[in-house]
Amino acid sequence: MKKIILSAAAFMMLFSCQNDQTESATTTANAITQRGCASHEVLAAQLAADPTLAIRMNKIEAFTQNAKLTSRLVNGKVEIPVVVNVLYNTAAENISDAQIQSQIDVLNEDFNAGNSDYNSVPTIFSGDKANVGITFVLETINRKSTKKKSWGTRDTMKNGKRGGIDATSPDTKLNMWVCTIGGGILGYAQFPGGNDSTDGVAIDSKYFGLSGSANAPYNLGRTATHEVGHWMNLRHIWGDTTCGDDLVSDTPTHNTANYGVPAYPHYSTCTGTPVEMTMNYMDYTDDPGMYMFTNGQKSRMAALFVSGGYRAGFGI
C-alpha cells in the first residue's frame, strides 16, 4: 500500500528544488532540445514558503485514495471552462485566437481518446489506456502588452500588480497564462491545494497549441496536456526520483524521465524491469511521443471533481 501521509520535509524530498528559475530567466528561441517542466520545482518552493500546504495536499491525497468515483456533471463528464491570459512583448507572443482554440481542441482530443495516435498504444498497455472524459470550453481570452521579455517561474505573470494578469474565478475556471517563460521551461502547473490566486497553468507561447513546424518537436499542444495533468493532480510518471512513485497503480516504474521518442520497448532497470510507458502524457518525451493516460490516472483526476473533491466547484 502506498504511503499517502507526507510531512513537509517528505514532500521536499519528493520535489527537490534546484531553484534555478528566476524572473529574469532568458530563453533561446527554437533551441530547446529536451522538455522542461518546472511544476515540481515550483511545488517545492511553495512547500518551503507555506508549511500548511503539505497538510492540505495530504487531505487531498487521502480523499483521492478513498473517493468513490461516480459521474456527475455535463452528460456524465466533467466540463472545464477555460480562461486564457496572453502576455506579450512581441507580435509573435500575441498568439492568435485560432492558435488558442487549437490548444483547446488538442486538450479535448487528448482527454477524450480522440487523438489520432491513441490507437498507437502498444498492446501491452491496451488494457490500461483511458478515455478520461473531461472536456474543455474556451470562455475568455485576456490580452496584455508588457515590457517584460521573460517571466520565470515565480508566478509574476499571474499578478496584475506585478505586470501580469490576475486569475479569473479560479474556483470554477481553469486559468492558463501564455507568455515567454524562459530558462528552457516549456510550462508549469500548480498542483491542487495551492493558493487560488496562482491556480492554473503557465505555458510558453511558442509551445501553446498547434504552433507550427518552427517549434517542433513541441508543436502539437502536448505541453498543455502534460501541465493540465499536473493541475489535475498527476505527478511525473517517474515520481521525480529514480524508480519513484507517481501514486498511480497501473503505470510502470520508470528509472527517470524519457526524452525524444524512445524506441519501443524501452525497459526499466527498476524492480521487475518493466517496459516503461514512454508514451504517457506525464513523461518528458517529445509531443509526437506522448499519446495516452491510464485508467489509474483517470481515477486520480476524477477524484478532484466528485462531491467533496478539491475541484468539485467546476461545472456546478
Q: How far apart are CA 153 and CA 261, in angstroms?
A: 27
Told to judge if 109 belongs to the known catalytic residues of this protein, a careful annotator would answer no
- For the beta carbon of residue 58, count every other beta carbon within 10 angstroms: 18
Amino acid at 90: T
- For the beta carbon of residue 33, count every other beta carbon within 10 angstroms: 9
Say which residues have a Cβ less than 8 Å from residue 237's Cβ, sequence separation at least 6. Answer: 246, 251, 254, 277, 280, 282, 283
Q: Which of 41, 93, 227, 276 is catalytic?
A: 227
Output the furthest CA–CA distance in the chain (Å, rounded). Answer: 53
Active-site positions? 227
